[in-house]
Structure 1
Amino acid sequence: MTLFDAFAKQAPNKVFFSICLGALSGVSYAFLIPIVLSSINNDPNDITQSVESVRTFLSFEVSNYAMAALFLFVCVFIVFSRTISQVMLTRVAADMTSVLRVKLYKRILAAPIDALDKMGHSKLINIITMDVGRIVGGARVFPDLLMNIVTIVGLLSFLMYLNIDVFWFVLGAITFGIITYQVPILFSNRYFAHARQKNDHLMESIRGLIFGIKELKLNDTKSKAYFKDVLLYNEHEAVKADKTGQTIVRASVNYGDMISFFVIGIVCFIFINYEAMSNDELVGVVMALLYITGPIALVIGAIPSFLYAKISLNKVNQILAEMPDEDINETVEVLEPWNTIHFSDICYQYKGEDSAEGFKIGPFSFTIDKSTITFIVGGNGSGKSTLSKLLTLHHMPSTGSISFGNTLVDKSTLKSCRQTITSIYSDYYLFDRLLDGNGAENMDKIQSYLKELALDTKVTIDDGKFSTIDLSDGQKRRLALLVAFLEDKEFYVFDEWAADQDPMFKEFFYYNLLPQLKMKGKAVVIISHDDRYFDIADKILVLDSGELIDCITDKKVIKQRTLHRTIISDNNALKAS
C-alpha cells in the first residue's frame, strides 16, 4: 500500500473530482500571466483604443476592462476551485486517519495475546499516535502538490509558446536541479528511518520511567544509570538522527528554492548573449520564471512530509504484516451445558529469539469443576501466569486439548468458550465504565456490592460510567471485582487478587465472596500465595518449574496443610514482633 493508494482508496470519486478541480486551478493560475502580459503589451499611444477600453466600476476607472474582467473571473475561479479541492481532500485525509486507526484497532483486537506481548505496548502506541498522524500529514499536502505541479506544467507550456529554446533550457535546468536535490534527500531519508526506529526505543524508555518510578526513587545508583544509559541515550540518538536528517533537508530545500532564480540569472545575463530574444519575450520569460518559483518551492517543501509519511507508512505496513490474526470463528454461540473443564496433556512452549525454544509448561492433565474452588500455587517462575492464560484461553496449548464439557476448544469454538470466562489478572486493567450495558438493570445489585466492598462512599455509577477510578490499588481491585460479579459468567479466574488487600477484605474475599460464587455453581480458580486460606479449596494444583508436581483433593490434607502453614506464619509474626 503506497501513500497515494491509501489516500485514493478512501474516496476515489472525491479524490478524482478534487484532482480535476486542482488541475483546473493550476491551469488557471498559469493562465494569469498571459492575461497580464496581453494587457501590458497593448500600445499605450493608441488613444482611440485606450479610451474605448476604459470603463468605470465602483467609481474606479478600469482600463482594458475586458481583460480586467477575465483576470477577475480567473482569480475568483482559482479561489473557489482551489478551496473546494483542498477542503475535499483534507476531509478525505481526516477520514483516512480514522479508517487507518480503526484498522489497527481491529487488528490488535483480533491478534493473539502472545503476538501483542512480543511486539510490545510501546511500539503499538507509537504506531497509532505518531505514525498515523505523519501518514495523514503527508496525504494532506496532495492538494497543494497537485495544484503546484499543474501550475508548473502550465507555465512551462507558456514558455514553450514564448520561445522554444528558452523552454528546453529551463526544463533542463529544472531537471538538473531536482536531480541534484534528490541526492541529499536520499541520505536524509536514512537518518529519518533511523530516528523512527530510535523513537520506539525511546517510547519504551519513557514507559519504564513512568511505571518504574517507585523502584528508581529507592535506588539512586539505579536511577542515575537508567537516566544516563537508557533515557538520555535513546533521547540523544533519536534527536541526533532527526537533526542530521533535518539539516540535510533544510539545506536541500533552500537550494531547491533558489533553482528558479539561478535559471533567471543565467537567462538574463548569459542566455540572451547566445539566443536572439525580443524585450517582450524576455519580460514574459522572466515573469514566468518568477511566477514558477513559488510552485517549485512548495513542491520541494512538501518532500519532507512525504518522507516522514513514507517511513511511517512502511512501519504501519510492517506491523500489519507481522501482526497475525487468530483465525477463529467470530460468531458467538451458546455452549452446550457443561460441568467440567478438561485439560488433557496440555503443554505450552514460548518462542524465544530467532525461533529458539523458550520457557515451557506441561504436559499435564487436570479438571476444573463447577461449584468448586481450585487453588493454583507455586513459586516464582513455576508457570502460574502462563497457566492462567491457558485457563482463560488467551493462549492455546502447543499440544494437548481443552474442552468445556463435550465442547472441544478449537478455532470454531474458541470465541464462544471465552464468553463463559471472567478473569482479574495481577496486571488487570480497570475500564472507567460498565461495557456490557447492564448497569441500569442492576442498580440495586450494584449498590449492594459497592456497600459490601466499602466503595459506596467513593464511587457512584451514572449511565454505566464510574464517577472516578482515581482510587487506591486495593479499591481498584475491589471495583474490578464488582464488574466481574456483574458479568455473572460460569468460570472465574483470580490471579493474586487479594495481594494488596488489608486483612479485613482478605477475610471477606476468601470466606464470603468466593463461597458465594461456589454456591451459585461457578467454577472458581484462585492463583494465590495466601496459604492460610487454603482450607476453602476443593483442589490445590502445585506447580514447579513448569510442571504439575501435585494435585491435592483430600479436604483433610488441605486443612492440615492450611493449619500447618498458619502456625508457621503466626510463629514468624511473633518472632518478628
Structure 2
Amino acid sequence: MDLWRLLRRDALRNVQSLFLLAAFAAALNLSVLTTLNDALLHLEDGHGLERLLLIFLVSAFVWRMAQNLLMRMASKRIQAGLGRLRVDLLRRALAADLPDVMALGPNRIAQAAGAELQILAQAVPTLVISVQSVAAIILCLVYLSSLSGLAVLIVLASLGIGGIIVARIVAKLEVQAESIHESEVGLTERADHILKTLRECKVNRRRRANALADIDACTGELHRKRFQFNVLYADYYMANELAYYFSIAGIIFLLPALAATEISTVVLSAHAAAFVAYPVITIVTSYPSYMGAETAARSYLAIEAELKTPALPPKPAPGPAVDFTGFSTLALEGTTFRHAGRDGIGSFSVGPIDLTVERGTVIFVTGHNGSGKSTLVHMLLGLYPAHRGALTVDGQPVAADEMASYRDLFSVVFSDVHLTRQLYGARDLEDGFAEELFDLLEIADKVALDGNAFTTVELSQGQKKRLALVAALLERKPVLVLDEWAADQSPYFRRKFYREIIPWLKARGITVIAVTHDDAYFDAADVQIQVDRGSARRLVPARPASEPESLPAV
C-alpha cells in the first residue's frame, strides 16, 4: 500500500502513542457497549440503572475526549509529515538534473507537491477514525466471544463471505479510481492550456472551438467514469450492509437453532453485533477518501523515483567550501550534450564545443532558432551535464560535488522569465544599488523596494524583463547570463541596452553572456559565438555600416 509506505516513512514516525490512544478510545467504546448490555439485564433495578447510567455518561465523555485527542495528535503529526514531503519533493527537483526535471514536467511536480498532497491532508480525519474503528471492531468481537463463541463464528462467517464479494468490487474501484485520476490530470492540463492561450483562442475561432470541444469531451469522459465509480461504490456499500445484516440475522435465527442458548444471550449477542455497525460503516464510508489518498501517494512516489535524487541533498564535505569567485576563465572543453528523443528518434546533439569565457568580457551567442544556443548556455551554466568533455575553471575540471559552487557564479534572466515579488537571492539591499538600477532601467516610477520584495510585478512584458534584470543584478554575481533579454524591448530601450547598459555592466567588472538575434548591435560584444546545427565558432564582431544615432524615449 503506497499510502501506508508514505505515511510510515514521513509522517507516522513513533506511532506507538497514536496506536495506544486508538486502542484506549476503542476500549471506551467497548465500555459503552458493555454498560448498555448490563443495563438490559437490570431494567428492573433502579439503583443499578442509576449506577450504570453514570458509568455510561463517564465512558461516553472520556471516549469523546480520547477520540478528539487522537484526531488532534494524528492530524498534527501527519500534517507535519506532509509538509516535509512537500519540501522534500522540491528539494529533489532542485537536486535532479535539469533534463530529467523537464522531461517529467514542472506542472506534474507542482501538482504532486500541491493538489495531490492536499488530497492526503483532507483524507487524514477519516483515516484516523478508521484506525480507531478497526480497534473497536476487534474489541467488540472479543466481547462477543465472551458471550458466545458460536455467535462470533456466525459474525465472522457473514463478514468473511461479504468480504470476498467486497474485495472483488474493491479491485474494480481501484482501477476506476486510477482512471479517474488520469482523466482529472488531462482535464487540468487542457483547462490550463486554454487559460494560458486566451489571446490565441480569441483571435482564432477554430482553435477556440476545437479546444472547447476537446475539454467538453474530457469532461464528459470524467463524468462517465465518476458515474461508474459511484455505481460500483453503491454496490460496495450495499455488500457491506448486507454482510452486517446477515451477521445479526445469523445470531437471531441460527444461534438458537444450532445450540441451546438463553434468550438473554441471543439479545446481548445481537446487540453486540449491532454495535459493530458504526465502526464498520465508518470504514466503509471512508474508503473513497482512502482510495483518493492511495492514488495521490502512488503518484507522489512515482515522481520521487523518476527524479532519481535523494530526499535531501548530501551534506557538504568537511572543510572550506570551493570558491570560484576569483576565476579568470570559464571553459567548455570538447563538451557535448545530447537531447534524447522519444525511443531514440529525433535526438539532437550540441557539440563538441570549445569555448573560453574570459573574466570581464562581453560574449554574444548568436544563431538561428533551434541551432543550439540555449543548450550551449545551459551547458556553460552546468545545468545540462556533459555527455563528453569537461567544464573547467582556470583549466581545472569542475567536479560533481563542486557544481553548486560553480553555479553560484551566475545570475540569469531566461527568455521565459518567471518574476516574483520576493527577492530570494538578493544581497545588501540597503546600499542604494537597487534604486540606481531602477533609474538606469527607467522603471523607478513603476516599482520600488518594499523590504525584501518589489512593490509590484504587474508590468508590461518589456518592463518585467527590466525588473528581472534588476533582480539578477541584486544577486551581485560576477557573471550575468541573458537569454534574448532585448527581444521584448522597444527600439529605444534596445539601443540603450546595447550602447549604455552593457558598457555600464562591463565597467563594473561583470562578465556578460547574452543570447541575441540583434545583428545591428553585434559589435557591442567582445566575442561573438555563432551556433549552427549544434556546433559553434568564434567570430570577430563587425560594426554595421550605419546605425541611427539616437531614438526618442518611449
TM-score by length of 1: 0.88
Are residue 428 (structure 1) and residue 417 (structure 2) matched?
yes
Can you give the 5+ residue segments of structure 2 that lack an aligned partner in the other structure? Answer: 549-554
Match of 1:225 in 2: 210
Whether 2:512 is the aligned partner of 1:530: answer no
- AA at the equivalent of 1:397: A
Distance in structure 2 (CA, Å) of the matches to 1:11 and 1:551: 55
Task: Give 1:410's match in structure 2, choosing from 394, 399, 408.
Answer: 399
CA offset digits 1:402-447 (Å, max 9, x no partner): 21223422303211111111111101121212223535423x2211
Give the Å deviation of 1:307. Answer: 1.8
Structure-1 residue corresponding to 2:24: 24
Cα distance, 1:158–1:112 mapped onto 2, change above 3 Å: same
> What is residue 563 of structure 1 aligned with on the other side?
545
Instruction: Write the letter of the residue equivalent to 1:435.
Output: Y
Distance in 2 between residues matched to 1:506 and 1:89, nearest whole Å: 58
- What are the residue-to-residue correspondences of 1:406-555 with 2, within 5 Å? 406-436=395-425, 438-442=427-431, 444-548=432-536, 550-553=537-540
Q: Structure 1 residues 413, 243: CA separation in 2 closer, same or farther (over 3 Å shift)?
A: same
The one-letter amino acid of 1:460's match is: A
Structure whose CA Rg is larger: 1
SS at match of 1:87: helix
Post-superposition Cα deviations, 1:505-553, rounded to whole Å, max 9, x if no partner, equal: 11211111101111222221221111111121222222222222x4212
Q: Which amino acid aligns with 1:281?
A: T
| Counterpart contact for 2:10–2:82, Cα < 8 Å | no
Question: Is the contact made by 1:3 and 1:309 (CA closer than 8 Å) also made in structure 2?
Answer: yes
Identity fraction in percent: 22
Q: Following the alignment from structure 1 to structure 2, what is the Cα–Cα distance between the partners of residues 235 and 118? A: 26
User: Are 2:11 and 2:80, in contact at CA under 8 Å, matched by a contact in 1?
Assistant: no
**Contact 1:374–1:538 (Cα < 8 Å) also in 2:** yes
Please give the per-residue CA displacement for 1:314-354, whole angstroms capped at 9, x wherever unaligned. Answer: 21111111102398885753126322222222211011223
Is 1:85 paired with 2:67? no
- Opposite residue 236 of structure 1, the aligned amino acid is G
Which stretch shows the higher mean deviation, 353-362 or 379-388? 353-362
**In the superposition, relative to structure 1, how do residues 214 and 242 fare at CA in structure 2: closer, same or farther (>3 Å)?**
same
Counterparts of residues 18-97 of structure 1 (less than 5 Å): 18-42=18-42, 44=44, 50=46, 53=47, 64-97=49-82
Aligned equivalents of 1:279 and 1:290: distance in 2?
16
Partner of 2:294: 310
Provide, for residues 59-115 of structure 1, a one-character-per-residue CA deviation record: whole Å limited to 9, x for no partner.
xxxx53333332233222212222211211111121121011111111111111111
Code of the residue aligned with 2:535 in structure 1: it is: E
- In the superposition, the TM-score normalised over structure 2's length comes to 0.91
Does 196-205 or 507-516 show the bigger shift? 196-205
Aligned length: 543
8 Å CA contact 2:43–2:49 kept in 1: the answer is no
Equivalent residue of 1:487, what SS?
A: coil
Give how far 1:13 is off: 6.9
DSSP-derived class of the 1:465 partner: coil
Query: 4+ runs of 1 displaced by more than 6 Å?
Result: 326-329
Q: How does 1:14-413 map to 2 (within 5 A)?
A: 15-42=15-42, 44=44, 50=46, 53=47, 64-229=49-214, 231-269=215-253, 272-325=256-309, 332-335=321-324, 337-356=326-345, 358-413=347-402
Moved more, 244-253 or 380-389: 244-253
Checking the alignment, whether the CA contact within 8 Å between 2:426 and 2:475 is kept in structure 1 is no
Alpha-carbon distance in 1 for matches of 2:125, 2:399: 45
User: Residue 30 of structure 1 contacts residue 152 of structure 1 at CA under 8 Å; is this kept in 2?
Assistant: no
2:6–2:297 CA contact under 8 A, matched in 1 = no
Conservation of the 8 A alpha-carbon contact between 1:494 and 1:527? yes
Distance in 2 separating the partners of 1:97 and 1:400: 41
Structure 1 CA distance for aligned equivalents of residues 127 and 196 of structure 2: 41
Cα separation, partners in 2 of 1:473 and 1:431, compared to 1, 3 Å: same
- Judged with a 3 Å threshold, the aligned counterparts in structure 2 of structure 1 residues 214 and 294 are, in CA distance, closer, same or farther, namely same
Provide the rounded CA distance (Å) in 2 between the counterparts of 1:223 and 1:199.
21
What is the alpha-carbon root mean square deviation over aligned residues? 2.4
